[in-house]
Structure 1
Amino acid sequence: MSVDENEAVDAFERLGLTSYEAKVFIALHRLGSGTARDVARIADVPRSQVYSVAESLEDRGLVETQQSSPIRYRPVSLEEAEDTLRNRFERERDRAFEHVEEVKRESAGEETQEDIWTVRGRDRVDGRVVDLLSAADERIVFGTRLPELLTERIERTLEGRAAAGATVLAVSRDQRVRDRLESLEGVGVQQPPASRKSDQRSGRIAIADDGILLSVVDDDGSETAIWSSGSLFASVLIQLIEAGEEVASDEK
């Protein structure tokens, strides 16, 4: 069998035929028509297998059978075979994706996901913060010690959610950051308790309803964040942060 024919057999296999089906189909086109003996003579398929393979090809609409003695087989035209395989492929594709869509719809109502995601890169973290804040309806807490991490997109989002009725609180130890935050309409601004020492690795914190994001900044300035929303992890972490703030306030 030539290399080209091997490639053709591989291609037919990707279209759903077995290796023997592809070889018999090619052999019949080479013969025009023939018996099982004829096919076995030029194809790498045992004669005993040709009968069942040809029957399978007939079921697929790719071969016609003449009830003679011995039985003869004839392939359908290439145009008809192409249409048959194309239609079969499209039906299987539709069936597969309909199933996936159904599974997706069924799982949409479940609340068992406990997803914790990692985001790397300042631009991607910035986008995730904006997405998280944009989804908040009731309350937002945003904080950062670095002016460059309070982007214009975040400022617009904080103002927008405050205008929509959400309670928005911003926290920063840096005066430059607080000045910018205080210029935003509807955004409350606080300074962390004096007992809370600043570190050199923290990046941003964003709490938006039941979602939370925490980021750190590496020595080279790169930012990495973890975030979660609507999960038990997010709920517990938010409670821990809020409890810590309450303790710090009591100690003042």
Structure 2
Amino acid sequence: MTVDESEAVDAFERLGLTSYEAKVFIALHRLGSGTARDVANVTDVPRSQVYSVAESLEDRGLLEVQQSSPIRYRPVSLDEAQETLRNRFEREQERAFDYVDSVKEEPTTEETQEDIWTVRSRERIDNRVVDLLSQADDRIIFGTRLPEFVTDAIEETIRERAAAGVGVLIISRTEAVRESFEDIDGVVTQTPPARHKDDDRSGRIAVVDDDSLLLSVVDNDGSETAIWSSGSLFADVLIQLLEASDDLESTLG
């Protein structure tokens, strides 16, 4: 089996097929059609196993059986196979998440509300920022020095909340960041004081209303790590400390 075929087999396994099923399916497409002996000759699947594997593939809707002597097998087209596997994946995904949704416990206890969460990876932090911003009713403070931390989704969410009457303050010493929001009604942009040296590890901050906060730093390898809290005493106290500080704008920049 070639390296490329090995990778294909691994991919089929991730889609739910067994190793033997993937190998037989690939072999039949290579052959066009064939008997168990034909398949065994071009794969490492024992001939005795081909019959049961072919039966399983038939049940999955991935091959057809010709009742001849000997029995011959023919794979369905690649388009049909893709559609079959896609539909199966979607059904299994729906079944799995429907079950989790039915048993999940909503975070309603006091202990859960006081939690401080850590989020790692740029994409997950992007998603968390969007989620927090979308819940704003009164105000948003958003700050970063890095234009790449202003994703399209973050910008669009801020636009939507500003249009809904939420007050928005954007603070950054980076002109490109400020320019991203200057055309939005209801959004105020500010440049922090220049007396403080830039911190190469600062990431971004998001303050939502008076009870939600996210702070991130950029690690030495360029990855981002954030902490966030919502509806907690921690978030409330930290927001008050930030607002009371003369260096608030510098911190947000």
TM-score computed with the length of structure 2 as normaliser: 0.54
Q: Kindly indicate whether residue 164 of structure 2 is the aligned counterpart of residue 167 of structure 1.
A: no
Aligned 8 A contact 1:145 1:172 in 2: yes
Query: Which residue type is aligned with residue 197 of structure 1?
Result: K
SS at match of 1:193: coil
Deviations 1:99-152 (A, max 9, x none): x88xx57x7375873110000000000000000000110010000000100111
1:221 maps onto 2:191 in alignment:
no
Unaligned ranges ≥5, structure 1: 1-96
The 5 Å alignment of 1:76-91 reads none
| Structure 2: gaps spanning 5 or more residues | 1-99
How far off its partner does 1:245 sit?
3.9
Sequence identity (%): 64
Alignment of 1:83-122 (within 5 A): 104=105, 108=108, 110=110, 113-122=113-122
Structure 1 counterpart of 2:28? none
Rounded Cα–Cα distance in structure 2 between residues aligned with 1:135 and 1:248: 23
1:143 is matched with 143
What pairs up with 1:175-186 in 2 under 5 angstroms? 175-186=175-186
- Give the number of equivalent residue pairs: 148
1:160/1:176 Cα in 2 relative to 1: closer, same or farther (>3 Å)? same
Please give the secondary structure, in 1, of the residue aligned with 2:165.
coil
CA distance in 2, matches of 1:247, 1:205: 11
After superposition, the Cα gap between the structure-2 partners of 1:224 and 1:246, relative to the gap in structure 1 and judged at 3 Å, is: closer
Return the offset for 1:246. 6.9
Residue type at the aligned position of 2:236: S
For residues 142 and 246 of structure 2, the distance between their equivalents in structure 1, rounded to whole angstroms, comes to 14
For 1:225 and 1:134, locate their aligned partners in 2 and report how far apart those are by CA, in whole Å: 18
**CA distance 1:149–1:219, shift in 2 (3 Å):** same
* Corresponding residue SS for 1:108: coil
Q: Where does 1:203-218 land on structure 2 (aligned, <5 Å)?
A: 203-209=203-209, 210-218=211-219
- The secondary structure found in structure 2 opposite 1:194 is coil
The yes-or-no answer on 1:237 pairing with 2:238 is yes
User: CA offset at residue 194 of structure 1?
Assistant: 2.5
Task: Please give the alpha-carbon distance, in whole angstroms, between the structure 1 residues aligned to 2:248 and 2:141.
Answer: 17
Q: Does the residue aligned with 1:182 lie in a helix, a strand or coil?
A: coil
